[in-house]
Amino acid sequence: MLNIVQLSRSTFKEAQVEQRQQAAPNKHARAGSGLPAAAGGSRSLWFNPPIEDPDRRPQLTRERIVTEALAVIAEDGVQALTMRSLAARLGVVPGALYHHVGNKQRLQDLLLDGVLAEIDFHLDSSLAWTQQLKVLAHRLRQVLEAHPGVAGILKTRDPLGPHSLALAEALLAPLQAAEFADREAGLAFSLLVDYTVGFAVSSTPTSVNEQRVRDAAIRGQLHEFFRSLPPDRFPALVALGEHVWLDNRDERFTVGLQVLVDGLEHARRSPHRPALGERPTTTARTTRRREDAQQAVAG
């Protein structure tokens, strides 16, 4: 009888040990993937990917700041771009912007150079120097008009960044190849840049004047108004007004650029021309001819 009781107790203890072993997690057990298993059968925190937080802001970088600054200018104009408003738009404090771009002027230089980076400076070397200049001017205008408001900044600032320098090099090279004198090449360069940037500033597609002539009905009313003016006071407007107020921005730019380049070509070819930027001087021969003509009239 005693042997039976001892055997029962021993069996009961073995059963309890077996139950505890089944219930206790094995610290060295591995999941099917070969990674340590976690409680409840899930994988360990260290091997789980981080949970994406939709409210987490993207990392602040110089490129992101410049991109957002261009968006501000395009939407609300140049005057709306301040460091404080830009910081609020990016969800950061103004000091974070200064850490990346220094100040507002530096930000403007960065965004200008970023825009100019979009210009294709490569030219076909077989083109005439006049044609190379026209190609570059058209490309510059196209890029500036793709970023409304930027031309106004470029008109007042010369960033001298890598792409600004590349643009200057691309425009000066054809003038140098055409054998303009150094000073004349510099003046010709300024004429081309001022014309192109000035056109982009003053004749934007979103201006009131451009929108007015783009609408056929309003344009027709405007032409009728010119024809109705008193011809004794406004004879030129009555005759030509409808040929001035037209939806022809591209044509105006192309014709103006052609006139400018033709003038440079004429100045380069003229054997006895005054240098660009200088007033014509009266030569001794011209003075003598004028005196002879006056004497002939007097006689």
The 10s digit of each residue's pLDDT in 56-79 is: 667 899 999 999 999 998 888 888
* Location of structure tokens 């140098």: 176
Residue 280 has pLDDT above 60, yes or no: no
Q: Which neighbouring-strand residues pair with 37?
A: 43
Per-residue pLDDT, 42 = 52
* Res 178 pLDDT > 70: yes
- Between 203 and 175, residue with greater pLDDT: 175
Q: Which two tokens stand for residue 71?
A: 């968006």
Q: How confident is the model at residue 160 (pLDDT cuts 50, 70, 90)?
A: confident
Residues 79 and 277: their CA atoms lie apart, in Å, by: 35
The DSSP 8-state label assigned to residue 1 in this structure reads: -
pLDDT at 183 over 70: yes
Mean pLDDT for the stretch of residues 188-197: 96
Q: Which two tokens stand for residue 282?
A: 């009266």
Band (pLDDT 50/70/90 cuts) for residue 31 is very low
Reported residue count of the chain is 299
Asked if 93 contacts 57 with a C-beta cutoff of 8 angstroms, the reply is no
Average pLDDT over residues 171-196: 96
Please report the beta strands in the chain, taking only residues with DSSP state E, as ranges in sequence order.
Answer: none
pLDDT in tens, 107-117: 999 999 999 99
The answer to whether residue 35 scores a pLDDT higher than 60 is no
CA nearest to 34, candidates 45, 25, 44: 44
Q: Which residue do the tokens 């960033």 mark?
A: 159
Instruction: Report percent pLDDT > 70 for the chain.
Output: 70
CA distances for 166 relative to 120, 169, 197, angstroms: 10, 5, 16
Inter-residue contact 147 to 74 (CB < 8 Å): yes
Question: Is pLDDT at 294 greater than 80 in this prediction?
Answer: no
| Cα–Cα distance for residue pair 106/98, rounded to 1 Å | 10
Q: Name the helix (H) or strand (E) containing 116.
A: helix 104-116
Q: What is the pLDDT of residue 7?
A: 47
Task: Kindly state the tokens that stand for 199.
Answer: 């056109």
Helix, strand or coil, per DSSP, at residue 257: helix
Using a pLDDT cut of 90, give the percent of the chain over it: 57
Of the candidates 62, 150, 132, 135, which has an alpha carbon nearest to the alpha carbon of residue 99? 62
At 124 the pLDDT is 94
Lowest mean pLDDT among 41-45, 181-185, 245-249: 41-45
| pLDDT tens sequence across 119-156 | 999 999 999 999 999 999 999 999 999 898 899 899 88
The percent helix, strand, coil of the chain (3-state, each to 5) is 65, 0, 30
Q: What is the pLDDT of residue 57?
A: 66
Count of alpha carbons within 13 Å of 173, Cβ hemisphere only? 16
**Measured between alpha carbons, how far is residue 54 from residues 51, 57, 86, 90 in Å?**
10, 8, 22, 15
For the chain, the straight-line distance linking the first and the last C-alpha, in angstroms and rounded, comes to: 169
**More confident: 211 or 21:** 211
Q: What is the pLDDT of residue 211?
A: 83
